[in-house]
Chain A
Amino acid sequence: MDWIQFVLAPQIVNGLAIGVAVVLMALGLTIIFGLLDVINMAHGEFYAIGAYVAVALLGAGLTFWWALALTPLLMALIGYVTERSLIQRVFHSKDRHTLTLLLTFGIGIVLEDILKLVFGANPLRVEAPISGATEMLGLFFPNYRLFVMGLGASIIIAVWVLVFRTSLGAMVRAAAFDRQMTASLGVPVNRVYAATFAFGVALAGVSGVLLAPIYSVFPTMGRDFVLIAFSVVIIGGMGSIKGAVIAGLLLTQIQSISSLFISPVWGDPLLFGIMVLVLMWRPQGLFGRLGHA
């Protein structure tokens, strides 16, 4: 009983904080895939850029809260420009899937090296804006992690509402379902696509900001993290928001709890192994696509 209270429960809560950030990242990825049919291999780098933008803003004297508010906007801008200027160029070719994959892969490489160039290769630390811990049920939970959980959950709910309950979301889903039809209805499909990409990138950026005080910030942080994000998206079902949420929370919990029993080095291989099994036995993942989620 003590073990549950003092070992397992904190691990679960910590896992939830990470889980929420992973879900945000996976949401961005799955939305970009669900609508644009683009595999964003640079998603990890956008996550890293989010963290670095926050670092830069903090360095410029802003508070963490300002960084948290501004970073998504800047990320959205970066995402929008990237989509309009680069991705749309290969969008209409016959080999669309391979080319966009390769293109985003190349973009990721360039972005990672730019980060190294601008910020150096050494890890940076970001101070958590909220310190201390709250006592609940006899345990102490770090306040910052509670905050991350709360904010993350709010954002996830907001995204869900946006996609499924607003006319903007309906427009986006329509464009995913049938591009030409939607275009003939007067919807500026190209801009919708760019905006969606921007949105997905912004989510990755927010994730980066939120996790910056927990993990340190270094140029290849995206490379390590993106595998988890992709695993979540694949297991949840590419294009499915519900899938990203459930799989994200579930898998981070698995990782978190399993680290009590096995060395943390095996955490990523474990997730990866689950992803491979899912791909082998149920390649469509747990749930369906964005249009029908």
Chain B
Amino acid sequence: MHEVTSRSLGHPARALHWLAGLFFGLALVFAIVAWTVGDVFFFRLGTEALIFAGLALSVDLLLGRTGLLPLGQALFFGMGAYVSALVLKNWSSSFWIAIAVALVFSAITGLIGGLIAIRSKGVYFALISFGLAQVVSKIIFNTRELGASDGMIGVPVAQIAPGLESGQPAGFFLVVLSILFILYAGLAYLMETPFGRQLGAVRTNEQRLSFLGVDPWRTKLAAFVGAACIAGVSGALYPMLRGFVSPELMFFQVSGNAVINVIVGGTGTLIGPVYGSALLTVLRSVVGSYTAHHQIVIGILFILVVIVLPRGLIGLAAPALQERLGRREGAVRTPILHAEHPQ
């Protein structure tokens, strides 16, 4: 029986897995080097990059795989952060409990948000996503119990395991890296299941999919909830790293940056957004040390990518790599779309 792999579906799977392995390998190398040098700053920066990589994965699940552009995904990220902070401050300092509560909360809010947003497509979905984030962030901004505009500080360190807690730069970096790995591997696996293929089909030809017996609404809703959970879990890690949360975590800046990370990295490749987050977080930090106006640089870079390189960095690198890895049908061609019949 012949197996259809992602390679023939336009995503050169072998190259992508190789690139993913490369990323995690490099991350481990980085960890070893930084640990021997006794560094703290770069560990913290790296952990932050990985946390935002999780958010980028959540955006890519929607944008690259389901064809929905979320301009307000920071909503779930920020809510996950707040929930985690509340748990750690008021209930338990257990890392696992905080994550679990954030996960459940994200699933519920993701379901509600999805029911509102999924009926719409294209720009309407983008605007609803954007609007939801604007509205909720404004509400939290004005809620004194949640710290209003200042947010909440003094979030205690999270206990992960005996002797391992989130205050340890190297240890927490590895924990977050592992979580990111699980998220990535889970998503990569999902894409090779019938459900994952349905997502891709929704993106290419939603109408036809419904005539094949699949309810596209349910598929999209499931993807939306899944993405909300991924964003929420990533967000839950944030207060463990920084010790505070603020409404800015839900602001458009965060959502916008996530979309930029995905597009620059390579929409739909899953590992591309991870690379994109890492690169751009570091870039923002570097440029940010010279000027407060790093968004201009990032924005211009983004515009260039959209115009010149819409497939993103990994989107460009992977097919080239695939060919070098020796498979014959590695090159990804763009088929002629018969939009109307020839006569």
Contact = CB atoms under 8 A, between A and B. Distances in A.
Given A98-B69, A112-B295, A280-B119, A103 B303 contact: yes
B138 A265 contact: yes
Contacts of A265: 138-139, 142
A1 interface: no
Nearest to A102: B306
Nearest to A117: B293
Contacts of A227: 127, 130-131, 134
A256 to B, nearest CB: 18
Interface in A75-117: 86, 89-90, 93-95, 97-99, 101-103, 105-107, 109-110, 112-114, 116-117
Interface stretch (B154-162, B174-182, B209-217, B255-263): B255-263
Interface residues of B, number: 37
Instruction: Provide the main secondary structure of the chain B interface.
Output: helix
Contact of A86 (B122, B292, B307, B310): B307
Nearest to A226: B130
Contacts of B320: none
B255 to A, nearest CB: 10
Interface string B27-57: 0000000000000000000000000000000
Nearest to B295: A113
Nearest to A275: B131
B307 A103 contact: yes
Contacts of A230: 127
B122 A97 contact: yes
B134 A268 contact: yes
Contacts of B124: 234, 279, 283
Nearest to B296: A113
Interface residues of A, number: 38
Nearest to A269: B135
B298 interface: yes
Contacts of A98: 69
Contacts, number: 96
B128 interface: yes
A95 B268 CA distance: 14
B116 A276 contact: yes
Interface string B317-332: 0000000000000000
A106 B142 contact: no
Interface in A5-30: none
Contact of B134 (A95, A102, A272, A283): A272
A268 B253 CA distance: 19
A106 B295 contact: no
A204 interface: no
B135 A268 contact: yes
Interface in B260-293: 260, 263, 292-293
A31 interface: no
A110 B128 contact: no
B265 to A, nearest CB: 14
A119 B303 CA distance: 23
B315 to A, nearest CB: 13
A197 to B, nearest CB: 16
Contacts of B299: 106-107, 109-110, 113
Contacts of B337: 94
A260 B165 CA distance: 50
Contacts of A109: 256, 260, 295, 298-299, 302
B252 interface: yes
Contact of B123 (A39, A93, A106): A39
B1 interface: no
Contacts of B303: 86, 103, 106-107, 110
B306 A279 contact: no
Contacts of A231: 131
Contacts of A97: 122-123
What 9 pairs across the A-B complex have the smallest Cβ distances?
A110-B299, A113-B295, A109-B299, A106-B303, A106-B302, A269-B135, A272-B131, A113-B296, A117-B293
12 contacts: A97-B122, A97-B123, A101-B69, A103-B303, A109-B302, A110-B296, A114-B296, A227-B134, A268-B134, A272-B132, A280-B120, A283-B124
Interface of A: 39, 86, 89-90, 93-95, 97-99, 101-103, 105-107, 109-110, 112-114, 116-117, 223-224, 227, 230-231, 234, 265, 268-269, 272, 275-276, 279-280, 283
Given A117-B293, A276-B131, 11 more contacts: A99-B310, A107-B299, A113-B296, A113-B299, A116-B292, A227-B134, A268-B134, A268-B135, A275-B128, A279-B124, A280-B119
